[in-house]
Amino acid sequence: MYLLQKSLFSFEEWLEIEPSERLQLFFATVDLQPYVAKLRNSSPQGAKPINREAILRAFLAAPLEGISTFTKLHKRLDSDLRFRYQCGFRLNELAPSIATLSRVFKAVAQNGLAKELFIDLVSQCKDSGVIDGTHLAIDSTAIGAYEKKQPKSRSQETGNADWGAKYDTFGNKLTWFGYKIHLAVDTVSELPVALKVTPAPVYDGEMAIPLMKDVVENYSWKVKYVMMDAGYDQVKNYEAARCYGAQAIVALNKRGEKEPPAGIASNGTPRCSMGYDMVYWGADGDRLKFRCPHAVGKIDCPLGLAACSDSNYGMVVKKTISEDVRRYANPHRNTRGGTVLYNERTSVERCNSRLKENLTANDTHVRGIQKITTYVYLNAIVLLASALAMSTTASSLKTA
């Protein structure tokens, strides 16, 4: 009921394609003309003409080629004729200077063009069937900063890079100076559909609502489930998901947890008069049904059915999700359906890994949150355009 067919897109297979062929397929997917026009209008030509479209293509090719600085990009364009040609420069055209690359990147950031292209590509992926859009996973990941480290009291005033802390799986506290990428990912394709970049100390739980809002407002999708880890276990996140017509599947954060109401387990499962957890027996919309564990053969109650019901069916308890949106969900916590859905959350972890390990999102060489955000968007665009290119290529092979 809750299982979705996994995407045929494999970014790892995409990276195995010969680089020049990969770039050719990649650029055949992305039409940059509308964005170049906006960039040209906002930054008129100087004495020496600038091939802005070719520079934009170079910015997108850079993460695929492991290029993270303007200096390295200039050197590659200057020394690799094929790469320069595939980016759209004429054979007799010199590679743009480092200063020109930096200036065009600044204009891209100021005009929000990377975000605009990202949103358009997400829509194209949805229309082509690459993205499903009904199941989302939300999480964050840390990235370092190129900026000079400074005391926390001073860095908080800038709104840019700041000190963050988290605990690893062994309970060790890790600190870093930089930012966080907050992602909403389609769990089928493992592709990003919304992202935010914040200073490192911003709490994960505060970013779920902005991400869900972006997905609904930018694409008008009918999202069914949103999977999040315990860092997002806040009532407002459950309520926001319900407002958007979705069910939040979130791990309970038991740190500092108060005792649940009498007769209820911490995960929301009602308990019978003998203190046994009742058995989840399905749902009808927002109404969850629980049955006597003795009646369904889960336990051997010393009092039998007589302790709770005159019927052979056993006692039945019904709960409405709105009674406690944090404890009640459809499907219920710790059930097979709930576990299957929650496990889809690993899709956002794999997406984060690709951005940071296969691409260059964690190797930043620009300063300020506006430019960092643009840099991250360019990496995310590479994932989307690569998926579209793979899908288009597969479709062409089928019809050939």
Q: What is the mean pLDDT of residues 81-107?
A: 93
More confident site: 334 or 8: 334
From CA 297, how far away is CA 69, in angstroms rounded? 64
The whole-chain average pLDDT of the chain stands at 90
Q: What is the mean pLDDT of residues 104-130?
A: 96
pLDDT reading at 371 higher than 60: yes
Per-residue exposure over 169-181, b if at least 16 CB sit within 10 Å of its own CB, e if not:
eeeeeeebbbbbb
Paired tokens of 234: 């806040």
pLDDT for residue 180: 97
Percent of the chain beyond pLDDT 70?
94
pLDDT for residue 179: 95
From CA 211, how far away is CA 185, in angstroms rounded? 10
Q: What is the CA radius of gyration of the chain?
A: 25
Residue tagged 């929000």 (tokens): 112
pLDDT for residue 120: 96
pLDDT for residue 73: 97
Question: Is the Cβ–Cβ distance between 318 and 289 less than 8 Å?
Answer: yes
Taking Cα atoms as reference points, which of 115, 287, 144 lies closest to residue 218? 115
pLDDT in tens, 149-193: 888 878 777 889 899 988 777 778 889 999 999 999 999 999 999
pLDDT reading at 388 higher than 60: yes
pLDDT reading at 400 higher than 60: no
pLDDT band at residue 290 under the 50/70/90 scheme: very high
Question: Is the Cβ–Cβ distance between 343 and 6 less than 8 Å?
Answer: no
Q: What is the mean pLDDT of residues 230-248?
A: 96
Instruction: Point out the least confidently predicted range of 21-30, 187-196, 229-238.
Output: 21-30
| DSSP-assigned states of every residue in 162-182 | EEEEEE-TTS-EEEEEEEEEE
pLDDT reading at 55 higher than 90: yes
> What's the per-residue H, E or C state across 101-166?
HHHHHHHHHHCCHHHHHHHHHHHHHHHCCCCCCCEEEEEEEEEECCCCCCCHHHHCCCCCCEEEEE
The most confident of the ranges 6-20, 200-214, 287-301 is 200-214
Using DSSP's 3-state secondary structure scheme, residue 256 falls into: coil
More confident site: 310 or 95: 95
pLDDT for residue 37: 87
User: 247 forms bridges with which residues in the sheet?
Assistant: 225
pLDDT for residue 46: 54
pLDDT for residue 42: 58
Name every residue whose Cβ is closer than 8 Å to that of residue 86 and which is 6 or more positions away in sequence. 20, 23, 24, 27, 57, 61
pLDDT for residue 397: 58
pLDDT for residue 43: 55
pLDDT for residue 115: 97
User: 283 forms bridges with which residues in the sheet?
Assistant: 288
Paired tokens of 154: 């001073």
CA separation, residue 143 to residues 46, 47, 178, 369, 386 (Å): 36, 38, 6, 12, 23
Q: What is the mean pLDDT of residues 343-362?
A: 96
